[in-house]
Amino acid sequence: MQQLTDPFGRSIEYVRLSVTDRCDLRCFYCMPKGFNDFEAPEHWLSFDEIERVIAAFARLGTRRVRITGGEPLVRKDLPSLAARLYALPGIDDLSLSTNAVQLARHARALKAAGVQRLNVSLDTPDPRRFRDITGGKLEKVIDGLMAAKAAGFSPIKINMVVMKGVNDDDVEAMVEFCITHGFTLRFIETMPMGDTGRGANAHYLPLDIVRKRIEQRHDLVPGVMPGGGPARYMRVVGSDLRIGFITPMSQHFCATCNRVRLSVDGTLYLCLGQDHTFELRPLLRDGITDAALDEAIRQAIALKPERHEFNDKPGQVVRFMSMTGG
Ligand code: SAM
Ligand code: SF4
């Protein structure tokens, strides 16, 4: 098996695939209200094109794919794409990040398609606050989560972006919610992305503060969880709850970065926090051969920068998280 290795010796074996830049919510830290500068449909990679790119990555050693967005469930027929990707030789870990608004309708089909693991964004258990943060209805997300549980997804990870003065006082309630329902809870530090990023940065809260608060009520011991990501896990003693801490700001994990991102228009983003990109769509639409596609991906990986610079240059990334796929 060939392997993809970047200039810093990191093995690249994980693709985050954004299937749309659109979303049915407007989380203020991700996409500003009224934003509608979306990619034109003729620029979206078709399912055939996505399958070709992921097959090429699989030939080059990628095992893990996470489908994300924008909100992936707004892309029509997503479960059929998931089934096609899961059928590719070499892909043995298929996961999905979703806001769960439309999950109740799709959970069973996604499970049948081969999606094994789900990450669901949920920043608060309070319906009014949920509306303030996202513009949407909490009950749909809860329905989606329960449908996912009933469909047999395990683990289900809840991603909570913890923001000072916005939802940091929901941390304890989220711990109880996840203990009750058997979900894994992951806290995420806000990253400065686009215009929203400058706002989000105002709410930045280092997660060691959150951890100390939880330790006032619960004993935490080191824990492990399956997944290719950068979360550091602790287990809450006396329960099955695992809590992950994702700290791109206070303790970045660039040295072990194993991933690249493919956006809906066929751009490879080599780093979430830098502007290094490689365009695959023109090559795909010019009839590139499989061998040349593999070579193009190798060239792209050679562009991967060493690290993000969110702390040194917080205004640098002007695109929104919804464009690249979080
Ligand atoms: N719509 C799906 C969802 O919300 O899970 C998938 C895409 S979303 C962009 C992926 C993740 O990025 C979510 O967990 C979201 O909370 C996170 N995210 C978005 N903007 C962020 C920011 N500025 N800082 C930190 N995390 C962010
Ligand atoms: Fe949509 Fe996810 Fe961004 Fe929220 S975080 S606006 S749900 S893409």
Residues with CB under 6 A from ligand 2: 23, 25-27, 30-31, 69-71, 99, 121, 321-322
pLDDT band at 197 (very low <50, low <70, confident <90, very high): very low
Phi, psi of 227 (to 5 degrees): 140, 160
Summarize pLDDT for 260-270 with one digit per residue, the tens.
Answer: 999 999 999 98
State mean pLDDT over 272-278.
83
Q: What share of the chain is helix, strand, coil (3-state, %, to 5)?
A: 35, 20, 45
Summarize pLDDT for 54-88 with one digit per residue, the tens.
Answer: 999 999 999 999 999 999 999 999 999 999 999 99
Query: Mapping DSSP to helix (H, G, I), strand (E, B) and coil, where does residue 111 land?
Result: helix
Summarize pLDDT for 198-257 with one digit per residue, the tens.
Answer: 454 789 999 999 999 999 999 999 988 876 677 899 999 999 999 999 987 777 778 888
CA 96, 16, 61, 42 torsion: positive or negative?
Answer: positive
pLDDT the model gives residue 305? 80
pLDDT the model gives residue 219? 95
**CA-proximal residue: ligand 1, atom 14 (nearest):** 121
Residue 325 predicted with pLDDT over 70? no
pLDDT > 70 in the chain, percent: 90
Residues with CB under 6 A from ligand 1: 23, 29-30, 68-69, 71, 97-99, 121, 159, 161, 188, 190-191, 193, 197, 200, 321-322, 326
State mean pLDDT over 184-191.
92
Summarize pLDDT for 159-180 with one digit per residue, the tens.
Answer: 999 999 999 999 999 999 999 9
Helices (H), the chain: 47-59, 78-86, 103-113, 127-134, 138-150, 171-181, 194-202, 207-215, 281-285, 290-301, 321-324
Mean pLDDT of the chain: 90
Query: Domains in the chain, start-ordered, CATH in brackets?
Result: 14-324 (3.20.20.70)
